[in-house]
Chains A and B, each alone.
Chain A
Amino acid sequence: MSAADTTTPTKAPPARQASPPAVPRAPRRRRAPGGSAVPWALLAPCLLILALVMGYPLVRLVTLSFQKFGQSQLWGFQPAESVGLDNFTKVLGDSEFWSVVLRTIIFAGGSVVFTMVAGMLIALLLQRVSGWVKTLVNIALVAGWGMPIIVATTVFKWLFDSDYGVFNAVLSKLPGVDMVGHNWFASGPQGLAVIMLLVVWGAVPFVVITLSAGLTQVPQELEEAARLDGAGSWGVFRYVTLPILKPIVVMLTTLSVIWDMGVFPQVFVMRGGHPEAEFQLLTTYSYDRAFVVNDYAQGSAIALLTVLLLLGVVAVYMRQMLKIGEVE
């Protein structure tokens, strides 16, 4: 510390004359490599907890997927024995697994695209409406956002009830449409479309509110300059607004991918705890294998494959977050 004091004056004098308080010197001193015990001490509790409740189960997830682990291993009647890649070959060799993967990708991909597009459009719209409309929309959005997923799922189940659901009743009021008694959950694609609507409805508010916050940071002058140069609304958005929002958009998209790949209660509750084969997504499929068939090892293998599938996306997200963390 004192060393820093004695070495800085060579550069310091002119600055000191300009600004009396010696503030600018302090950060340089703090950044010195010494004293790294303090941050680690601060981090210790957090890292310990995460290692216990996250690290250990993660390791266990990996080891489990290489073992034979059913009911008798769970209750300790038999030791878990290693079976190598058996679980994976079984899972990967099952055609049902691949249709579940495809279904999950379509479902999550569709949810993410609809969420991002709707979110962006609504955020842009909110910039153009009167204050009171903005307030109304915000209240509706936040009400949806804050609603527990389980409550939202229950409400959607009610909206789309085949006999008493208001959705069928309203649709049937349109000329030439008769949806009375239509069961949306009789087929997988239709049922999953309803669930996708639920997921998008629940996810849009976060995207809108975050993008709105981002939009306020887009310099007005830049947009005006572009307009004066002859850019239309689309041009301004494409070449001025979007590039500035890009970090937020990347963050939101990746988060959405992670969340939408992890959709579970929506399907589980919508189908009364027993999703049919054509409703299975990777999450429910893994759950099904583990807790319905009682093959915890295969369930773990499926869960692990899901995590690996996500890793590609996560890598992109990480780079973005690291960039943010770097800038401080």
Chain B
Amino acid sequence: MSAVATPRRTPSGPRRSKLGWNVLGLLVFVTAGFPVYWMLNTAFKPAKDAIDPDPSLFPTGVTLDNFRRALDIADFWGPVGRSLIVSLSVVVIGIVVGMLAALAISRFAFRGRKIVIVGILAVQMVPLVAMIIPVFLLLNDLDQYDRLSGLVITYLTFVLPFTVWTLRGFIVNIPKELEEAAMVDGCSRTGAFLRVVFPLLAPGMVATSVYAFIQAWNEYLYALMLMSQKNQTATVWLGNFTTKHGTEYAPMMAGATMMAVPIVVLFLIVQRKMAAGLTAGAVKG
């Protein structure tokens, strides 16, 4: 039908045909957004409204009590502080080390390059869960069990391959000719990189850092397995709302909100850039 209509579309045609698509789009919006909406809605509801068997879809009263309660439960700032320390350390190491490796892969032709790429990518394939047992034993041997530093080195297993691969994507998108031109003008190879490539790479590096930060911040399994109760991180902290008396859902949603909102905002800022980095070369290939 549309195939016939397309060639002689009147100006009002496309607009009218958009209505149906827009309705569908709004449906997707509501479906995809509902869990987030329900988290926020419950977080700001009085706790007794949260346990109404016939919940109202729209907020009736707004309160901050749930947030107060969430902050009280088993110390909120300790776990958040630990998560911050771990995630920031992972980002710094991951970006510096990953950048060097990404440069090697994207700007040099050398024997063994293929094997290195396969190796780094293969690491990403191994599910974290498969590794808990030996990682647990390794940290035990290194006396790093139940230590933030131990958590940092284990997080590098999944953050490093990721930073190498995405930074590679960003570097590849910067034309080699720019570097070469700088070198013709008398820059050394390092100088050309620092003065020409590095500034162009900065946005990509910021996006990669934020994304790596989020990955480290969100990790749950290792944090649960490798840290004791007194050293728990933010993700594990969220489990504290479930006791043998049941789950305190309203404060739990307040806790979830506090954990999710900063991350989601960071994410919104960098996601466009990230998609570009992740798919760099994918279509051209």
On A, residues with C-beta under 8 Å from B are: 21-23, 26-27, 31, 33, 36, 38-40, 42-43, 45-47, 49-50, 52-54, 56-58, 60-61, 64, 74, 122, 125-126, 128-130, 133-134, 136-137, 139-152, 154-159, 161, 163-164, 166, 169-170, 180, 201, 204-205, 209-210, 212-214, 217, 227-228, 230-233, 244-245, 247-248, 251, 258, 261-262, 264-265, 268-269, 272-273, 283, 286-287, 290-291, 296, 299-300, 303-304, 306-307, 310, 314, 317-318, 320-328
Contact between chains at B21 and A46 (CB < 8 Å): no
| Distance of A265 Cα from B132 Cα, bound (Å) | 13
Chain B residues, Cβ within 8 Å of A53: 135, 138, 153-154, 156-157
Pairs A–B under 8 Å by Cβ, sample size 15? A43-B116, A60-B138, A130-B22, A148-B217, A158-B42, A209-B275, A214-B279, A228-B7, A233-B3, A262-B128, A269-B239, A273-B239, A286-B133, A303-B131, A321-B117
Would you call B64 an interface residue if the criterion is a C-beta within 8 Å of the partner chain's C-beta atoms?
no
Q: Scoring B residues 24 to 42 as 1 if CB is less than 8 Å from chain A, else 0, what string do you get?
A: 1110110011011011001
Contact between chains at A144 and B259 (CB < 8 Å): no
Contact between chains at A248 and B217 (CB < 8 Å): no
| Distance of A126 Cα from B242 Cα, bound (Å) | 39
Report B22-73 residues with CB < 8 Å from chain A CB.
22, 24-26, 28-29, 32-33, 35-36, 38-39, 42, 50-55, 57
Chain A residues, Cβ within 8 Å of B205: none
- Nearest residue (CB) in A for B179 is A26
- Which of B18, B53, B260, B276 has a CB less than 8 Å from the CB of A151? B260
- Which of B2, B109, B132, B161 has a CB less than 8 Å from the CB of A290? B132
- Which of B22, B98, B114, B279 has a CB less than 8 Å from the CB of A46? B98
- Nearest residue (CB) in A for B263 is A146
Chain B residues, Cβ within 8 Å of A140: 28-29, 32-33, 36
Q: Scoring B residues 139 to 180 as 1 if CB is less than 8 Å from chain A, else 0, what string do you get?
A: 010000000000001101100110010001000100011001
Would you call B134 an interface residue if the criterion is a C-beta within 8 Å of the partner chain's C-beta atoms?
yes
Contact between chains at A210 and B132 (CB < 8 Å): no
| Distance of A286 Cα from B128 Cα, bound (Å) | 12
Chain A residues, Cβ within 8 Å of B153: 49, 52-53
Chain B residues, Cβ within 8 Å of A74: 137, 140
Contact between chains at B24 and A125 (CB < 8 Å): yes
Contact between chains at B221 and A154 (CB < 8 Å): no
Given contacts A148-B217, A317-B125, contact A164 B53 (CB under 8 A): yes
Contact between chains at A327 and B134 (CB < 8 Å): no
If over half of A's interface residues share one DSSP class (helix, strand or loop), that class is named, otherwise mixed; here it is helix
In the complex, how many angstroms separate the beta carbon of B226 from the nearest chain A beta carbon?
12
Contact between chains at B55 and A166 (CB < 8 Å): yes
Chain A residues, Cβ within 8 Å of B202: none
- Which of A54, A152, A228, A321 has a CB less than 8 Å from the CB of B123? A54
| Distance of A129 Cα from B14 Cα, bound (Å) | 10
- Nearest residue (CB) in A for B93 is A49
| Distance of A27 Cα from B178 Cα, bound (Å) | 12
Contact between chains at B110 and A286 (CB < 8 Å): no
The 3 closest A-B pairs by CB, nearest first: A146-B267, A140-B33, A262-B127
Chain A residues, Cβ within 8 Å of B263: 146-148
Would you call B74 an interface residue if the criterion is a C-beta within 8 Å of the partner chain's C-beta atoms?
no
Given contacts A232-B2, A325-B117, contact A287 B129 (CB under 8 A): yes
Chain B residues, Cβ within 8 Å of A128: 18, 21
Contact between chains at A137 and B32 (CB < 8 Å): yes
Contact between chains at A214 and B282 (CB < 8 Å): yes
- Given A137-B32, A141-B32, 9 more pairs with CB closer than 8 A: A43-B105, A45-B97, A54-B126, A126-B25, A128-B18, A158-B39, A244-B283, A264-B221, A317-B121
Would you call B194 an interface residue if the criterion is a C-beta within 8 Å of the partner chain's C-beta atoms?
no
| Distance of A323 Cα from B117 Cα, bound (Å) | 11
Would you call B88 an interface residue if the criterion is a C-beta within 8 Å of the partner chain's C-beta atoms?
no
Contact between chains at A327 and B284 (CB < 8 Å): yes
- Which of B26, B97, B124 has a CB less than 8 Å from the CB of A49? B97
| Distance of A244 Cα from B282 Cα, bound (Å) | 10
Chain A residues, Cβ within 8 Å of B177: 23
Chain B residues, Cβ within 8 Å of A299: 133
Given contacts A147-B263, A155-B256, contact A209 B271 (CB under 8 A): yes
In the complex, how many angstroms separate the beta carbon of B221 from the nearest chain A beta carbon?
6
Given contacts A46-B164, A155-B39, A214-B283, contact A139 B268 (CB under 8 A): yes
Contact between chains at A143 and B264 (CB < 8 Å): yes
In the complex, how many angstroms separate the beta carbon of B277 from the nearest chain A beta carbon?
10
Chain B residues, Cβ within 8 Å of A318: 118, 121-122
| Distance of A249 Cα from B161 Cα, bound (Å) | 21
In the complex, how many angstroms separate the beta carbon of A257 from the nearest chain B beta carbon?
10
Contact between chains at A125 and B25 (CB < 8 Å): yes
In the complex, how many angstroms separate the beta carbon of A29 from the nearest chain B beta carbon?
10
Chain B residues, Cβ within 8 Å of A272: 242
In the complex, how many angstroms separate the beta carbon of B239 from the nearest chain A beta carbon?
7
Chain A residues, Cβ within 8 Å of B160: 46, 49-50
Contact between chains at A303 and B111 (CB < 8 Å): no
- Nearest residue (CB) in B for A29 is B180
Chain A residues, Cβ within 8 Å of B35: 144, 152, 155-156, 159, 201
Chain B residues, Cβ within 8 Å of A322: 114, 117-118
Would you call B278 an interface residue if the criterion is a C-beta within 8 Å of the partner chain's C-beta atoms?
yes
In the complex, how many angstroms separate the beta carbon of A240 from the nearest chain B beta carbon?
13
